[in-house]
Amino acid sequence: MGKAEVFGNFDYIPQGMEPEGMLSMTVQPIDLITYWRRCGLVADFGAKFYAYAYSTPNEYLENTISTVLNELVENGAKFSRQKESYVSISLRHFINVFAIEVVNETTLKIAQNFKEYIKKLLSADLEKMYFDRLESRKESDEGSGMGLLMLLKDYPSFLGASFENFGSDGNEYARITIRIFLKIEE
């Protein structure tokens, strides 16, 4: 196991701090890729699970959690090794923050590209980066690369990321942990 490289506000809330509530689940990437609607299902479940923590219906908060979680789960599914791999999702609810973590395993090449993208996100003028990317998109671009950028620009959130290589002898992979700390807007 290699040493983890950590970026951004990875420990904005320390892992040892006890949350008000916690939910975690682990799925295989192939389960999500094959049945893509499951990404939304997972996101909606996580959001609904926490919506019950509020005495009055809070559709706005539920919509926010589902939107943020969905983007992270979609990324975890798209950029994973599809077999012999997993996507691990956890939500920790604190008084005014949701800590959302998605862990996935991928190739070293994908991890390296993603690491460079994370570095850019953490140092960029997000407003400028958002519109520059939209304006410079080519019609042939399959992906948008806008998910995390949109979350950080439009939602009150902090990003943390960790990259850790594992394996040996030509079977080396990277484990990516993405954390979004979402401030709860009342």
Partner 1 sequence: MNITNDDFSIVFDEAQRSIVFKGSLRLLNVKEYEPVKSLLSAAHDKSTGQLTLDFRDLKFLNSSGITTISTFVINSRNSNKLKLEVLGSKSISWQEKSLINLNKLWSEVNVVLS
Helix (H) or strand (E) holding 109: helix 108-123
> Which two structure tokens, joined as six digits, stand for 16?
């040892």
Q: Is 134 in the site for partner 1 (CB under 8 A)?
A: yes
**Ranges within 19-38 binding partner 1 (CB under 8 A):** 36-37
**Residue from 155, 165, 167, 184 binding partner 1 (CB under 8 A):** 155
Choices 22-30, 79-87, 110-118, 130-138; region in contact with partner 1 by CB under 8 A: 130-138
In 3D, which of 173, 155, 156 has the Cα closest to residue 164? 173
Neighbour order of strands in the sheet with 21-27: 5-8, 157-166, 173-183, 97-107, 87-93, 21-27
Q: Which stretch binds partner 1 (CB under 8 A): 16-24, 118-126, 127-135, 157-165?
A: 127-135
Residue with tokens 């079977």: 171
74 binds partner 1 (CB under 8 A): yes
Residue 147, interface with partner 1 (CB under 8 A)? yes
φ and ψ of 45, to 5 deg: -65, -50
**In the complex, least distance from residue 139 CB atom to partner 1, rounded to whole angstroms:** 8
Q: Assess 137 for contact with partner 1 (CB under 8 A).
A: yes
* Nearest approach, Cβ of residue 81 and partner 1 (Å): 18
Give the E-state strand segments of 53-133 in sequence order: 87-93, 97-107
Closer to partner 1 by CB, 111 or 152: give it. 152
Cα–Cα distance list, 134 to 25, 38, 104, 112, 172 (Å): 33, 27, 27, 23, 34
Q: Which C-beta is closer to partner 1: that of 2 or that of 145?
A: 145
**Interaction between residue 186 and partner 1 (CB under 8 A):** no
Nearer to partner 1, 20 or 127 (CB): 127
Cβ distance 81 to 109 under 8 Å? no
Classified as helix, coil or strand, 141 is coil
What residues make contact with partner 1 under the rule CB under 8 A?
36-37, 39-40, 59-61, 63-64, 66-67, 70-71, 74, 78, 130-131, 134-135, 137, 141-144, 146-147, 150, 154-155
